[in-house]
């Protein structure tokens, strides 16, 4: 199984860090991004081997989990009413309004992440 990982430069360690985020505590480092990625793949194999030996559940890689594109959401009535009014003022459905608002917020979060970790990149473990 291939597990995705995040790769970033650590100023503190002066090394590239690779975190296999589907496997808690599974991190590796290297002098280059490629070395960190290779080490992460080795570390993930060891993590899985130990988990199997201990009878722990093996998580499905998030890269294999498909999003349905549907979301059930509970929210306060006043917020629901406010969002409906805003969508109506913009002449769109509540669904379209929420998708646009969430997309905008997600873009802002990605921008902050890039500003905080300019060398961070999401890549796949080999």
Contact 114, 120 (CB under 8 A): yes
* Helix spans in the chain (H): 33-53, 77-90, 94-116
**Same structural domain for residues 13 and 41?**
yes
**Which CATH number is 46's domain given?**
3.30.160.250
pLDDT of res. 37: 93
pLDDT of res. 111: 63
Contact 20, 1 (CB under 8 A): no
- State how many domains the chain has: 2
Q: Where is average pLDDT lowest: 28-32, 74-78, 79-83, 120-124?
A: 120-124
| pLDDT tops 60 at residue 114 | no
| pLDDT tops 80 at residue 120 | no
Domain with 88, as residue range(s), is 68-114
Local confidence band at 8 (pLDDT 50, 70, 90 cut-offs): confident
**Same structural domain for residues 96 and 81?**
yes
**Same structural domain for residues 76 and 58?**
no
**Same structural domain for residues 55 and 77?**
no
| pLDDT tops 70 at residue 124 | no
**Same structural domain for residues 80 and 58?**
no
What is the distance between the alpha carbons of residues 5 and 12, in angstroms, rounded to a whole number? 20
**Same structural domain for residues 76 and 98?**
yes
Closest CA to 86 of 72, 101, 73: 101
**Same structural domain for residues 25 and 56?**
yes
Encoded tokens for 65: 């989990």
> What mean pLDDT do residues 29-42 have?
95
Contact 15, 36 (CB under 8 A): yes
**Same structural domain for residues 21 and 36?**
yes
Share the mean pLDDT of the chain.
85
pLDDT of res. 123: 46
């Amino acid at each position: 199984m291939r597990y995705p990982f995040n790769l970033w430069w650590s100023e503190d360690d002066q090394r590239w860090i690779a975190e296999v985020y589907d496997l808690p505590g599974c991190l590796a480092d290297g002098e280059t991004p490629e070395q960190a990625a290779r080490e992460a793949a080795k570390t993930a194999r060891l993590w899985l081997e130990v988990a199997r030996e201990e009878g722990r559940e093996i998580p499905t890689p998030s890269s294999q989990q498909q999003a349905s594109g549907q979301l059930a959401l509970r929210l306060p009535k006043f917020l629901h009413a406010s969002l409906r009014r805003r969508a109506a003022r913009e002449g769109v459905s509540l669904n379209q309004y929420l998708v646009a608002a969430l997309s905008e917020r997600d873009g802002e979060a990605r921008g902050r992440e890039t500003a905080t970790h300019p060398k961070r990149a999401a890549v796949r473990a080999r």
